Chains A and B, each alone.
Chain A
């Protein structure tokens, strides 16, 4: 197993996922198998091949610098769980 239970707990914490102890076992197994597949791919000789950051050979489209959006705050706030004075409210964050 390339992924330990401890690794799973760490990843879950980074992703803000609450998972049970039984699930940890399952994820450790699943994630390990994914990494095993990656390890298998790593065995392929890629000398002299330029790494790609994107699967298709396209480049970034650029747009003109113009303000094209109007204010839709009321609609967006209408679907937010909580808001006040034009602010979205979230559970208290302490720096």
Chain B
């Protein structure tokens, strides 16, 4: 029996404003508990919400970037439920008319383009945090996060595989970072994903019963959670059972999803328009002002990198996926005479490897683009070999010193003096009679071994191009 899975994602994008959506409290991460929770955020009686203009601007920016409809009149609604991290007893959200209507994102999977519909994107406030450690049998509440602006982006159920879902999610992540509306930090919860998943027999039109998987906080977990859930649902159906509509939680340590709330406790949110907030009116001129300030997006940047730096498309693609990487690349290019290809190789190679090993982002890299530019120049002008440069880079990272200082202090300058090189070649040749014999009998690939010996003798500092020339001349004599 062949099955098809149907996946839709709901992504909570935390907007990068300074203050909360309906109050003047800061939303900076990591503050002492409840020090950023004012009278509005903790819902003291008599307070009123006042909408943050920047949150509206960011929502419109997003809407335009996904070719979405901007509703010029949208409504805030109360979503009613009781939970202590939501002190008002309701969350202010949008229900019937969201700020952004239908739009789409095009993704590429296995070389094929696919359009993923975006049903809507609406503005809402985040809730606080409950801490379930034991406070004498009570629960601790931190309301710093309460009122943080969120844009909830709801996709159509257009994805059919976990891979498609991850590609869509990455594209969305790249987009909100480019738009400057979200820092994209999944660990800190700035970009949170819920997945709606159902399966059906291939050829059927009717959707199966779906399960919603909450708060999956990394791309890898999204992939694994969806794969697990698809397999779980197929197994239930093949065993003759029925899938229950429910909310499930992904547990990364066990790599499984499990039920969070039973059906009996299913929420009845009783949405209604919030009488505290009249309709949000967005004028044509407001939209045009936002449109004029839209930044260059990933696709356009990729095309420009190909055109301006003569990069091939896969190198350009690798650079534009993360805005910090793209900016780092461009900053290097402004400070070096090396080729774009060399800079791209370094970024995707040694620099990324070290970044990953340290578990940090390009945003926090300790080696400046200017310093990398100088390092590339030293390879370009023959001061050091590419191989030595790898060690110099690690030393730059560890010490914070410049390439030039490290090269001088460690005596790493490439030996390009032909007299010195000839001596080394002669020494190696006199110790390698057997290999010389082999070479002269036609086994020319033995030259690799000889070059290796000379590089070793020079501690990697011999200019490889010159060594090759001298060696060939002497052997072919």
Chain A contact residues, CB within 8 Å of chain B: 10, 14, 16, 53-54, 56, 58-69, 71-73, 76-77, 82, 84-95
Contact = CB atoms under 8 A, between A and B. Distances in A.
Contacts, number: 127
Contacts of A54: 273, 275, 277-279
B145 to A, nearest CB: 13
B37 interface: yes
A69 B55 CA distance: 18
Contact of B137 (A14, A63, A64, A92): A92
B101 interface: no
B386 interface: no
A25 B452 CA distance: 95
A95 B75 CA distance: 31
Given A64-B53, A86-B32, 13 more contacts: A16-B82, A53-B96, A60-B51, A60-B76, A62-B56, A63-B51, A66-B19, A67-B26, A69-B25, A76-B37, A82-B138, A86-B142, A91-B138
Contacts of A85: 33, 140
Nearest to B33: A86
B260 interface: yes
Given A60-B280, A76-B37, A53 B53 contact: no
Nearest to A60: B280
Given A60-B277, A62-B52, A91 B139 contact: yes
Interface string B13-40: 0000111000111100000111111110
Given A67-B25, A87-B140, A87-B141, A93 B83 contact: yes
B84 interface: yes
B80 interface: yes
B315 interface: no
Contacts of B34: 73, 76-77, 86-88
Given A14-B80, A87-B142, A58 B42 contact: no
B170 to A, nearest CB: 28
